[in-house]
Structure 1
């Protein structure tokens, strides 16, 4: 990693943000695309094929956003259940569009053997403004904890608690982008009053697993399926990806429960976070979406 010398334009270096700085940050955010047109309209077009339920609504001064979850209609309580989440970080486009593509193109092919619960866009404000955080400058993917500070996380956790399903697997769809270094990591350091260090952005697809339950064969099966669509990220000169040592090609791991990551949301035996690199000269947006779909299919094939 290399030290970032650029000073973020909000706040005082070395001093964590207060409410004034958070308000200044929020005022600088603008809507860049439409959740209604790019997400909700696609769900509405599939309404006759799936059980699509509004499980809550985000209420911010920045706007109100209905939230949706998708389940297969031929739900069989005897079948194992797979959870798919997208848009935990709203700016990670293929996480959202990949989840929608999986629902539309693939989900029905596997419902004889599995039930599916899919949250295609947990953070619609982040999707519209292309942000990692929610309007409170909170990172949802560090907030899957008791008494969560993020509405996005609390609403999903409440829904799943009421659903009462034991999940066999969970695939959480993410991206690693160049803007992680140019915007989001400097902003985080400024918010927390810390010195920023950037990491090397991997060119390609990789996975993040749970270091306390690292199912190597499961991750290997997903990577093999994704490799049919796009390239797998190579480790850097330190044998790392984003500053973490690789467990095998295309895989790193963290103690996900301790960090409040989305894949700690359930007690699923098999859980992984995907990471696609949309800024790669070797990948198109369509390819990134299909890579996300391939990751879910790789999970399914491993479990069959």
Structure 2
């Protein structure tokens, strides 16, 4: 378990104890420089070619010109031969754009594993739901909203709204959903303090788990499924241990490396579908015991192991 970071005091934007209004949100946005390229690191690999069994398509565009920013085409990959008699698998990455292996792991899975699963399942992959967040290495979108709390009707976050519309149009029935995430040290050093400042609250840091873990859905726990994924990931990276209270990020550990959230009421991407099997990965890229390659591999192994589990159930 890593040591908690002390919260910055005060956060550079806003007045402590007072929720942000439009001027504070604008001040926050002005502090967010571009740090990498969505075009070069996400779009270019996709446009260079996906497996022949896959179809690359645009499911919309994020337009942030009203904020002095640009527009972002949103891309997805689906099975070219979609069959109603096969189970359907949804993979989502980059809901939080700063969580690098969620995006790069999804792209790597498309390149290396997509073709191997053709004819076994229908596949829909949204590899980078929050491209501005990817470019600025940010948890929020430019409106200072967390897209992973906005998967709900009439969502104010275009990232979530367009992803929901894409899934509804292309995969109305989903049997398995794997949502790819990371937990990072910046959750304590930047993003937690920013959220507290935005909402007029006091930030309370929490221990960051050192290692991989999963977040199951409280109404759909499927403990054997979650346990099988943890077993598979142990082969490529270490699994997070609980803190002194038996928790990971403040939630009780249900089995080694697994906690639960009630995803739909929280507006989480993992609550997007009615899939029987649903899990959210949490990779720890800041660990001295893990490399970027291992983080990407952990994401890939989870997706493939989840599909193997689904198929073993005779879905």
Which TM bucket (shorter chain)?
over 0.9
Equivalent of residue 122 in structure 1, options 109, 122, 129: 129
Determine whether 1:254 maps to 2:261: yes
Q: Distance in 1 between matches of 2:38 and 2:95?
A: 14
Distance across 2 between alignment mates of 1:290 and 1:254:
24
Find the counterpart in structure 2 of residue 36 from structure 1. Answer: 39
Q: Give the deviation of 1:5 after TM superposition.
A: 6.1
Decide whether aligned partners of structure 1 residues 104 and 48 sit closer, same or farther in structure 2, where only a CA change above 3 A counts. closer
Structure 1 residue 4: deviation in Å? 3.6
Q: Which runs of 5+ in 2 are unaligned?
A: none
C-alpha distance in 1, partners of 2:300/2:171? 26
Instruction: State the SS of the aligned residue for 2:120.
Output: coil
User: Does the Cα contact within 8 Å between 2:35 and 2:137 map onto a contact in 1?
Assistant: yes
C-alpha distance after superposition, 1:175-233 (max 9, x if no partner): 00000000000000000001111110000000001112211011011111111110000
Alpha-carbon deviations, 1:231-286, whole Å to 9, x = none? 00000111000011101110011111110000101111111100000000000001
User: In structure 2, which of residues 137, 159, 168 is the aligned counterpart of residue 161 of structure 1?
Assistant: 168
* Contact 1:7-1:13 at 8 Å conserved across structures: yes
Give the counterpart of 1:57 among 47, 61, 68: 61
8 Å contact 1:58–1:66 — kept in the other structure?
yes
- Superposition map of 1:109-258 within 5 A: 109-258=116-265
Per-residue deviation at 1:46?
2.0
Q: Give the alignment's TM-score, normalised by structure 1.
A: 0.97
The 3 A distance-change label for structure 1 pair 164 and 290 is closer
Question: Alignment length, in residue pairs?
Answer: 304
Instruction: Could you tell me which runs of 5 or more consecutive residues in structure 1 were left unpaired when the two chains were aligned.
Output: none
Q: How does 1:265-280 map to 2 (within 5 A)?
A: 265-280=272-287
Q: RMSD over aligned Cα, in angstroms? A: 1.3
Aligned partners of 2:8 and 2:193 also within 8 Å: no
| 3-state SS, counterpart of residue 229 of structure 1 | coil
CA distance in structure 2 between the aligned counterparts of 1:80 and 1:268, rounded to whole angstroms: 10
Q: Does 2:113 match 1:106?
A: yes
Task: Give distance in 2, aligned partners of 1:77 and 1:174.
Answer: 29
Which structure shows the bigger proportion of residues in strand conformation? 1
Q: Distance in 2 between matches of 1:17 and 1:237?
A: 35
Matched-pair contact (CA < 8 Å) for 2:214–2:258: yes
